[in-house]
Amino acid sequence: MTTKNTLEIKNLYAGIPAKKIIKNFSLKVNSGEIHVIMGRNGCGKSTLLNVLMGHPKYKTEKGSVLLNKKNILKLSTNEKACEGLFMSFQHPIEIPGVPLTTFLRTAKNTITKKHSSPSDFLKEIKSYAKLLKMTDAEIERSINHGLSGGEKKKSEILQMAILKPKFALLDEIDSGLDIDALKAVASTIKEIFKKTKMGLLIITHYQRILNYITPDFVHIMDDGKIIKSGKETLAHELEKHGYDKYISKK
């Protein structure tokens, strides 16, 4: 029986020293749910995920982030990862000299507190790489080194597949992908979601990834908080009418 997990963000205020970006943000995500946040550039979507994951650039003024009722807000990023939180980056960085396979096997062993044999691990990583249409050369490189933007996004999802977090935060995972790469990424996300029943929080500007992944909830974000929530149809309405219908002009 799948364990039910909850990630609850309560009355969160955060930003950089000169600017408050996240303002009274609240949201609850359960395991087995897919939530999508959409909004205009600069509304705080990516900042929210960075705050949740503990990026040192951002400071939290007040609020809480509860993973299974434990406040993880002040934990270090690696401690949050061990608690079951994962984030894919909008702009993944290259880490020359750190092989992806070595990094992932070490991370998995640390999180699960189990030792996976190199042969079993290689079999697992290659099975997901095949779903993502990644070559052996891509997974044998240092992390993201020499990869295109789309290849980096595939690598992010490969990491999610191996680490199997309780909750995954996906920051514009669809940006920079051609149609074939988008289909591969989306199908792999669905396969992992089906197997693990993790909770997903997806940030996107466009409805196109939702042609392949059906969300349970869609939220519109503006000025650091959610201003409207709905089902999948809300994303279609946004595609048709834009944000003006929902965001008041200041």
What's the pLDDT score for residue 208? 86
The answer to whether residue 1 is domain-embedded is no
The answer to whether residue 120 is domain-embedded is yes
Q: How far, in Å, CA of 170 to CA of 85, rounded?
A: 11
CA 2 to chain CA mean position, Å = 21
What's the pLDDT score for residue 249? 59
Q: Residue 74 maps to which CATH number?
A: 3.40.50.300
pLDDT 10s digits, 122-136: 999 999 999 999 999
Range of the domain at 92: 6-241
The answer to whether residue 57 is domain-embedded is yes
Spatial CA neighbour of 193 closest among 170, 220, 221, 218: 170
What's the pLDDT score for residue 90? 87
Provide the edge-to-edge strand list for the sheet that holds 167-171.
Answer: 85-88, 167-171, 199-203, 34-38, 217-222, 225-230
The answer to whether residue 246 is domain-embedded is no
The answer to whether residue 248 is domain-embedded is no
Q: How many domains does the structure of the chain reveal? A: 1
Q: What does each C-alpha distance from 51 to 14, 83, 166, 231, 241 come to in angstroms?
A: 7, 16, 18, 25, 30
Half-sphere exposure of 165 (CA within 13 A, CB side): 31
pLDDT 10s digits, 112-171: 988 888 899 999 999 999 999 999 999 999 999 999 988 999 999 999 999 999 999 999
Query: What stretches in the chain show pLDDT beneath 70?
Result: 1-2, 249-250
What's the pLDDT score for residue 1? 47
DSSP category for residue 154: H
Q: How far, in Å, CA of 122 to CA of 136, rounded?
A: 11
Spatial CA neighbour of 162 closest among 117, 118, 198, 125: 125
Helices (H), 113-243: 118-131, 136-139, 149-163, 179-196, 232-241
Angle of helix 118-131 relative to helix 179-196, nearest 10 degrees? 130
